[in-house]
A and B are shown apart, each in its own frame.
Chain A
Amino acid sequence: MAAPLTLLLIVAVTIRAVLFRSSLAELISARVEVVSPLNAWKRVVEGLALLDLGVSPYSGDVFHEVTDGITALALYLSIQTYNKDVFRKQKYALESDRYSADCLELLRSPKEMFYIPLKVAMFYLLNPFTILSCVAKSTCGLNNAIIALFIFCTLKGSALLSGILLALATYQSIYPLTLFAPALLFFLQRLYIPVNLRRSSFWFFTLQYAFMYVGSLVVITGLSFFLLGSWDFIPSVYGFIFSVPDLTPNIGLFWYFFAEMFEHFRLFFSCVFQINVFFYTIPLSIKLKEHPVFLIFMQIAIISIFKSYPTVGDVALYMAFLPAWSHLYRFLRNIFLVSCVLLACSALFPVLWHLWIYAGSANSNFYYAITLLFNFGQILLVADYFYAYLRREHHLTHGLYLKKKDGTEATLVLK
């Protein structure tokens, strides 16, 4: 498997290198869909220039290609580990007769799972969103790399490294905090500790992991304080993320909402929108406590959709996971609609931006409409995969061909 992966990495690096050298690099790094005030390279360079006026800024394209490679490699290895895990659990479940008799078609075979890690890496590296993000030199690539490494360390079972990487990811943008729950659930599952709030073994491990995570976070924050000499970075980074003062248009839902809001309600709606990112964690964790890796995917998707300054690089990260759930294809209901919506929106974003900002013949509503549609498509995609996953689980335990009381073929509904 090393050879196809190496080939893939070479192709990916070539595409990025070509784009870096072309004139498109300038254009792409100015696109609002790809860079946001939080991760624009231009702002990093500006910050460096302010620190020392007159120093020529570091161009750094190699740095961004490397982070993409790290992400892809980490995802590849994680999915490989995960697949082994899945196959092993399936074997145990079959041996203990937990599956019903007629769901043979739903079982996964090593043959089917062989190419999945490569597909995952390919989905990430060759995704136009990732390429655009890399060529724009957005620091989103770095964020993705850290989250991918975190997933890799979690799946390999190293709690300390996973805690440190998660702290690093949280330090960059506060939203990966929600990934604490799936990581915890994974470790508990791995160590065969039942998730029961009354048992001391559960609390013992939870506190250990929490301590590692919070401790690393404190260390990193303290290091920043010593390096910068003041606590100013806390309000300027986290305050910036939470209070959304910069209304530069992006692919998210926040910018126009806060641009058009009455001052009176600003605090209320800021709180509502931020809580919206965090409050799905507990219910999802309860529902998916047996399936922490799918929970990680769901959490990353929710963060990418509802965070305050999303970019296409964030979208690319959770889209990379989709080949891992390719066995759910038969249960997906809206996949055609969703792919059409996402493709159309991706094409329309630059067009309507140009019409608004440069041609002057459209106004902000056009771009806003596409933003709404794009996020709606993403929500539909994630909800669809969630539905398909739950349905497959239901069929595994209750049988694939279900019959109604009178013997005719039944339809399954959510009630």
Chain B
Amino acid sequence: DSDPVGFDSLDLNERRGRSTDAELDRRDGTRTSEALTPAAAARDEFQEELVIRPLHSGDIYASFQFRTLWDTDFLQEGQKVSHYRLFPKSLGQVLSKFSVRELHISFTQGFWRTMQWGQPFIPSPPGAELWVWFHDTVSDVDGNWKELTNVLSGIFCASLNFIDLTNTVQPSASFKPLGLGNATDHRFLRYATLPREIVCTENLTPWKKLLPCGSKAGLAVLLKSEKLFHSSFHSQAVHIRPVCQDEQCTSKAWELRQTLNVVFDLYTAGQGKKEWSLFKMFSRTLTEACPLATSSKVYVDITDNPELFELSPATPLLSQAVVLGDRRTYSVYDLSRAETFGQLRSLNLLLRWKGDGEMLRPLLHAERYVAGFGLQTGEIHTVIYNNHPYRAFPVLLMDSVPWYLQLYIHTLTVTSKSRDNKPSYIHYQPAKDRHRPHLLEMLIQLPPHSMTEVTVQFERALLKWTEYTPDPNHGFYVGSSVVSALVPSMVAMNTNFTQDQPLFSSFVPVKEESSYFVRVYTEPLLVNLPTPDFSMPYNVICLTCTVVAVGYGSFYNLLTRTFQVDEPSLPLAKRLANLIRRIRGVPLLT
């Protein structure tokens, strides 16, 4: 059967052809004449994996990663690429039209609780976050950025068009490229975050459409929105970057990683029972791997097994990986092998808790809150915890505050263990009213086993009434702070490049053995601004103009009139009599 899953019915404008059938390559949705020439050694590759990590609080963390490698003549000036196989055409066109070198976009619902859940594989802030590195050849980065946000807004059905110059910053140190290339000019970097953005099924559907198998085969069948959004944390992201295809980096490829992290809550989704299964989490089980994938695996973190929980069905495959500074053991279910699915032809993993355990404390953790009272001033406090018992390490803190909260940098204080801790690098770009937000980046050395507090005072501005959102008393969001650091690792990290490395451990390039890269996002802040009375524009205009008119009137009177003795006017009868007398020509009455 050449079409087990029903690819024929897919939308021909978007779908890629299948790898096995060269004849069907012509059904590629592109309108080119290249269809007559067979695809030359197309080495597009697709891998999918799911990592399930049981958390100590009884919740369960599932992380999907779908990686598509697009082997194309690397983005050169003037070369139009029009042959798409596994890589989605919409994103490919975006990359070439806007000369994008790296694109990272994430949509998150909920906040990642680091202290209870540990470090995520792919961190993301609440709301939408977009950061893009453009090519050096771009002349008008701001114009490209504006168009890019609007195009992405259409692709992902999100309101990314609210990203404009008033919430875009150019971080100088915090967001280095994750792919190839050593870029140092941060003029080509743009970062924006929309903390207010809500994620729902409308965003999940176009995201799923970008996958080669769609949501019809492989791991993506588990992505059912009614279960996915019934969770404590849901984050879907798209990361595009150029990577090396082999160790010597002789050929380069575009890597598209679509990641979906979800944490199911013990009580709301788990009904209070510490027993999880694929069916309970996703209301589906796995039946087959995606035929287009070269590898399709499910990893279950069993480092705490067998004391903590038991896993069924058992699998002989085990894998060890050093990820996030810790050596973890995983049970591997290889979906490309038929025996994984057993007799029922479906895989439903079951994890049953047996006891409670201690969680490894995350080494880096940050919080943020607003202090103060009233609607005039306030203070932003960012607290960063270093839980390493004896090692100090530097962290880079990036804060982007909207222009209507006027920061006073001379009130910035950084204290660790109640002593002043001067940052070694401060990059501050003050805001321009209605043009640019504040950007504050600092390199702070965190002493071991300590809490560092960064405080800065701000003043709240009164905005023009058209600049308020329809629900102004809800408050205004301030995007999360980003804390990026190379945290010292307890275990030696693997710096070698291996082809069959699991995806979750190869997301962030590891440059040295002794530390691993961590990015922690703090909570977004909700700040109330003083509001004018929105029902009053006409009244205000009338009243203010009245006072000005009173001034004008008084001065006009005094300037144009002179003092005269007031002669009283005659009563009406006498005036009428005078009128008649004037006609008669007789002297008038006084």
Contact = CB atoms under 8 A, between A and B. Distances in A.
Contacts of A412: 563-566
A318 to B, nearest CB: 14
A125 B466 CA distance: 43
Q: Looking at chain A, what size class is its interface with the partner chain?
A: 35 or more
Interface string B110-141: 00000000000000000000000000000000
Interface stretch (B162-170, B187-195, B361-369, B530-538): B530-538
A386 B555 contact: yes
Contacts of B434: 245
B375 to A, nearest CB: 4
A371 to B, nearest CB: 9
Interface string A274-292: 0010001001101100000
Interface string A387-415: 10011001000100011111000111111
A288 to B, nearest CB: 9
Given A247-B464, A259-B462, A376-B547, A364 B533 contact: yes
B90 interface: no
A305 interface: yes
Interface stretch (A139-147, A179-187, A212-220, A250-258): A250-258
Interface in B416-449: 422, 426, 428, 430, 433-434
Most interface-central of B426, B434, B557, B563 (chain A CB within 10 A)? B563
B558 interface: yes
Interface in A67-91: none
Contact of B563 (A48, A376, A390): A390
B558 A390 contact: yes
25 contacts: A32-B376, A49-B410, A50-B428, A53-B409, A57-B410, A245-B433, A246-B433, A247-B462, A249-B530, A256-B540, A259-B464, A259-B465, A259-B532, A260-B536, A286-B559, A305-B551, A306-B551, A357-B375, A358-B374, A360-B375, A363-B533, A372-B547, A383-B551, A404-B566, A415-B561
Q: Which 7 A-B pairs have the closest CB atoms?
A: A49-B410, A383-B554, A358-B374, A414-B561, A379-B551, A410-B565, A394-B563
Nearest to B462: A247
Contacts of A258: 464
A368 B563 contact: no
A210 interface: no
B562 interface: yes
Given A46-B409, A261-B541, A53 B428 contact: yes
B547 A253 contact: yes
Interface string B535-553: 0110011011001101110
Contacts of B426: 53
B510 interface: no
A262 B537 contact: yes
A287 B374 CA distance: 49
Nearest to A284: B559
B375 A358 contact: yes
A414 B554 contact: no
A256 B538 CA distance: 12
A413 B465 contact: no
A375 interface: yes
B578 interface: no
B530 A364 contact: yes
Contacts of A49: 409-410
Interface in A338-378: 356-358, 360, 363-365, 368, 372, 375-376
A403 B567 CA distance: 10
Contacts of B267: none
Contacts of A356: 375, 530
Interface residues of B, number: 49
A367 to B, nearest CB: 10
A77 B305 CA distance: 92
Interface in A273-326: 273, 276, 280, 283-284, 286-287, 305-306
A246 B530 CA distance: 14
Contacts of B245: none
Contacts of A247: 461-464
B390 interface: no
A263 interface: yes
Given A247-B461, A253-B544, A372-B544, A263 B466 contact: yes
Contact of A46 (B375, B377, B410): B410
Contacts of B552: 276
Contacts of B568: 404
B507 interface: no
A100 interface: no
A394 to B, nearest CB: 4
A368 B376 CA distance: 16
A368 B544 CA distance: 10
A405 B567 CA distance: 8
B541 A260 contact: yes
B279 interface: no
A253 B566 CA distance: 37
A283 B555 CA distance: 9
A243 to B, nearest CB: 11
Contact of B541 (A257, A284, A414): A257
Given A46-B410, A364-B532, A364-B533, A246 B461 contact: yes
Nearest to A369: B543
